A = this chain, B = another copy of it.
Amino acid sequence: MAGNSFGTLFRFTTWGESHGPAIGVVVDGCPSLLSLTEADIQPWLDKRRPGQSRYTTQRQEPDQVRILSGVFEGQTTGTPVSLMIENTDQRSKDYSEIAAKFRPGHADYTYWKKYGIRDYRGGGRSSARETACRVAAGAVARKVLGDGVTVRGALVQIGPHKVDRSRWDWAEVDNNPFFCPDPQAAAEWADYLDGIRKSGSSIGAVVEVVASGLPAGLGDPLYDKLDGDLARAMMTINAVKGVEIGNGFEAATLTGEQNADEMRAGPDGEPEFLSNQSGGILGGISTGQDVVVRFAVKPTSSILTPRLTVDLQGKDTDILTKGRHDPCVGIRAVPVGEAMMACVLADHLLRHRAYARG
């Protein structure tokens, strides 16, 4: 509709600019009687918060969330849950260069062409700061999903360096500043990323998000397929350029024999799949296996090397983006990807209940 909402029955709307007084999200369609306090949301925001290692931007924001509505005596009431995060680190700096020139790779030019005006301070609305709102909404979505569903993300590639999946250990994700499930890769990435950082450059990455414990049947073919909604969800995250489900682009190289997941009767009579090439989705509907999504994050466009550009008057010039930037913005995209997955699943869980038989 108007662009700043996501979801159908579980639906959130975000607002706010990077350097305005605050940012926020209104979560509408949250069922009643779920326990919810700020303490349920804050840890996820803390996970995304910048400035926690030398590999993320040094902007210091406490990102303290406040529940303004929709909760009464610790429980959701079914009315909109309004969450607000005040912006505290709005460093007073000189924006005259950003205001006058288009930064290559950023949304400066397109916002200008679309709106004829832009709040250029810190990227305004196009800043990754907005993703804090997604994370807050995702925390509410997790409450809707309940304890039986787990949504976890990991960084699986930085530049050309991938994790070794044989070493995958979810417990390792919290032991390094990269959300990396492979401790050996994490150690190597630290050196690699130090080099990137010191040279004032940046690098892309790939994030993987996995949801476990879902029932079969989520997703509404043909245009509200679960994978379609997940693709949209991830592609709307800042800097994302590609999304894949299950084996994704690798499926293009496989034969029908290699690709289809065979089935056997499980111990309880329910079918079990012998593999999960499909990433837990067939025909746009969840199979009950893990839902697996990966997305590619481009390198931060703000780097310390001057880049050719033009100014608002259409004159050739160049620009060098100083300031506090992420050498690999993909790292902080991990909790954001988790949140978007949780929101898509919560929405489809509610939709599933609506149409459920019997």
Stretch binding the partner chain, chosen from A50-58, A168-176, A267-275: A267-275
Contacts A263-B308, A354-B9 given; indicate if A126 touches B283 (C-beta within 8 A).
yes
Contacts A9-B1, A69-B16 given; indicate if A282 touches B252 (C-beta within 8 A).
no
A159 CB → nearest B CB, Å: 6
CB-based contact B305/A257 at 8 Å: yes
CB-based contact B264/A308 at 8 Å: yes
CB-based contact A307/B110 at 8 Å: no
Interface residues on A, range: 35 or more
A338 contacts partner chain B, Cβ-Cβ < 8 Å: no
Contacts A13-B5, A231-B235, A282-B105 given; indicate if A72 touches B33 (C-beta within 8 A).
no
A285 contacts partner chain B, Cβ-Cβ < 8 Å: yes
Contacts beyond the supplied A4-B79, A14-B80, A72-B124: 8 A-B pairs with Cβ under 8 Å? A2-B10, A13-B13, A16-B68, A21-B68, A111-B285, A114-B352, A159-B252, A262-B308
CB-based contact B3/A117 at 8 Å: no
CB-based contact A68/B196 at 8 Å: no
Residues 295-329 of A at the B interface (beta carbon under 8 Å): 296-303, 305, 307-310, 314-316
CB-based contact B220/A3 at 8 Å: yes
CB-based contact A102/B271 at 8 Å: yes
CB < 8 Å neighbour of A303 from B31, B104, B204, B256: B256
A32 contacts partner chain B, Cβ-Cβ < 8 Å: yes
Stretch binding the partner chain, chosen from A41-49, A179-187, A239-247: A239-247
Contacts A204-B259, A236-B228, A354-B353 given; indicate if A22 touches B80 (C-beta within 8 A).
no
